[in-house]
Amino acid sequence: MIEITNVTKKYAGNTALDDVSLSLSAGKIVGLLGPNGSGKTTLIKILNGLLRDYTGEVLIDGHKVDEHTKGLVSYLPDRTYLPDWTDAEGAIKMFKDMYADFDETKMRSLLEKLNLNPKQKLKTMSKGMKEKFQLALVMSRNAKIYILDEPIGGVDPAARELILNTILQNYASDSLVLISTHLIADIEQIFDSVIFLKEGKVVLHDDVDSVRTKKGMSIEAYFKEVFRC
Amino acid sequence: MLIKLIKHDLLATYREFTGLYVALISMAIVGPVVISTKNEWLIAILFFGLFGFTIATLVVTFMTIIKLYSRRLFSDEGYLTLTLPVKTRDTIASKVATGVFWSFATIAVFFLSFTLFTTIFYFILTGTQWYDVSVDIAAILGQISDTGIFNVLFNASLLGFPLSFMDTVYSMTLLLFIITLVNTSLIRKNRVAAGVALYLLASMILGSILSNLHGESILFTELILKLNESSGIADVANALRAFNFTFNGMDYAITLVGKLVYIVGLGFGTHWLLENKLEIE
């Protein structure tokens, strides 16, 4: 589904991604793990076409990043990307207009579950509410690939469970879910496989069960060992 | 998809422009009333305000279009705009179309405000009612129409519209190109300052290249009105009869083709930058 070959990205001499090669197939939930500044968001931006100046090749469903691949990927960035002036209803209309795979019925039911008011202006929503609302929009698409950048990064522990359940209950089983996070303990139980990124390099890409068996420890414990300062 | 993009870009910007237009029209209505008070201070403040507001409207229109481009494409909103499943050329076209729409809307509202201002001012000044003047206006319009001035103005507008349309599209394309350029991996520091400097430089260079290639496409004759106390409507009519314009076909064609070449070049340039050098922070 996603083929990344020898991708290197530099910012003014600093290497954010260093010769990264990955192959990600459908039907899996993949954890993209690494400390801040390890290159997770850079890789995600490249997959979504927000960074174009890099070397190497990225293919999604056999295509270079273009309007076709953007139609396949449902992307949740690590920030609020909806304009403040709109209300939830306006954002829903926009998604309905722009994404052929957007399921409005699913969205309405998610709004209810997440206790969000469709008439509420985004600027009056708290940070947590905005994050839940964006997640609902993203998960209401019947996409082939979900790319979620730090979906639980800015919410309290109680909301984390709700968000994880929302993700688990709303992705199609034949789709690929790529989740970037540094809060591993909260989320490692949902991963099928994990990628460790360290200083722009892939230091591990393996199935979760295999890592646990080989290393005899949880993903979080192994993460701490790999990234110990 | 392009229509949907334009629709959402218009929805994202109409609030800023609506406020501006309401203020313009309000001033056009209130202005004549202030003048009728014959209070010199109030009138001075009004004209100072009108002058300032006219400049402010042009600046605000320009700044709002800049904001539309930079905010919708290169701020947090860009994470949505640039990941929509649309062709890059549609993204560019929708932004240019929205900018052109608001530029012309601002001109239209200016025109409407001016008409409102002069009409209300006329009614207050003469103390007449609409039913009194409607007959007079019709008669005056009839006499003016006989001079052929409306035909002259209509023909000039017909010829001038493609020029001003192309000029506006060119301005928007240049603006979008520069804003895109300063949001790529080619420029990573002092992006705002670099953008302003590059815009001024590019406007100057491209403008002087084209102006060296051609002269004036539409040249109006001077309208000479020498009126005194004994002058009547016939004197005005005679002056209007002499009013005309000369049309220079070659200069006109060069201007149009030149602007078209710029638009295509800048459009392709923006497309290339978005596809190859984009670097959202």
Task: Identify the pLDDT of residue B153.
Answer: 84
CB contact under 8 A, A52 and B78: no
CA B97, B102, B107, B113 torsion: positive or negative? positive
Burial bucket for residue B94 (CB in 10 Å: 0-12, 13-18, 19+)? buried
Instruction: Flag whether pLDDT at A22 surpasses 60.
Output: yes
* Torsion on CA atoms B116, B122, B128, B134, rounded to nearest 10: -60
Q: Which two tokens stand for residue B22?
A: 């309401």
* For A137, nearest residue in chain B (alpha carbons): B80
Distance CA B28, CA A225 (A): 72
Considering chain B, what is the average pLDDT of its residues?
Answer: 84
User: Terminus-to-terminus CA distance in chain A, angstroms?
Assistant: 34
Selecting from B15, B277, B278 the residue whose C-beta is nearest the C-beta of A50 gives B278
Q: What is the dihedral of CA B108, B114, B115, B116, to 10 degrees?
A: 110
The least confident of A94-98, A205-209, B63-67, B211-215 is B211-215
pLDDT at A176: 92
Token look-up 């790999």 returns A226
> pLDDT tens digits, residue range B99-138?
999 999 999 998 898 888 888 877 776 666 555 666 666 7
Which helix (H) or strand (E) segment holds residue B65: the answer is helix B40-74
Just give the CATH number of A2-226. 3.40.50.300
pLDDT band at B191 (very low <50, low <70, confident <90, very high): confident
Average pLDDT, chain A: 88
pLDDT of residue A229: 60
* Cα–Cα distance, A121 to A82 (Å, whole number): 11
Please count the CA atoms within 13 angstroms of the CA of B18 that sit on its side-chain side.
6
Count of CB atoms within 10 A of residue A220's CB? 15
Residue identified by tokens 């201002």 is B117
Dig out the tokens for B220 from the structure. Answer: 């109006």
What length is written for chain A? 229
Range from B3-12, B165-174, B223-232, B242-251 carrying the lowest mean pLDDT: B223-232
The CA-based angle A82-B193-B210, given to 5 degrees, is 100
* Rounded-to-integer distance, Cα B197 and Cα B201, Å: 6
Compute φ and ψ for A10, nearest 5 degrees. -120, 140
A-B contacts at Cβ under 8 angstroms: 70
Is the minimum CB–CB distance between B86 and chain A shorter than 8 Å? yes
Q: What confidence tier does B231 reach under pLDDT thresholds 50, 70, 90?
A: low
Q: CA B17 to CA B11: how far, in whole Å?
A: 11
* Predicted confidence (pLDDT) per residue in A111-137, tens digit: 888 888 888 888 888 888 888 899 889
pLDDT at B135: 63
Q: Does B214 touch chain A (CB under 8 A)?
A: no
Round to whole Å and give the CA distance between B174 and B65.
12
Judged by average pLDDT, the poorest of A164-178, B64-78, B165-179 is A164-178
pLDDT at B144 exceeding the cut of 90: no
pLDDT tens sequence across A25-36 = 988 999 999 888
B187: contact with A, CB 8 A cutoff? no
Under the banding of pLDDT at 50, 70 and 90, the label for residue A65 is very high
Integer Cα distance of A53 and B279 in angstroms: 7
Comparing A65-79, A124-138, B26-40, B215-229, the range with the smallest average pLDDT is: B215-229
**Residue A45 is nearest to which of B12, B86, B280, comparing CB atoms?**
B280
pLDDT at residue number B263? 96
Give pLDDT tens digits for A86-106: 888 989 999 999 999 999 998
**Residue boundaries of the structural domains of chain A:** 2-226
A50 and B84: CB-CB below 8 Å? no
What ipTM was estimated for this complex?
Answer: 0.90
* Distance of alpha carbon B131 from the chain centroid: 35
Distances (CA, A) of B174 to B8, B111, B201, B273: 22, 26, 11, 13
Using the predicted structure, report yes or no on whether residue B30 has a pLDDT greater than 90.
no
- Which chain A residue shows the shortest CA-CA distance from B11? A86
**Main-chain phi, psi angles of A81, to 5 degrees:** -105, 0
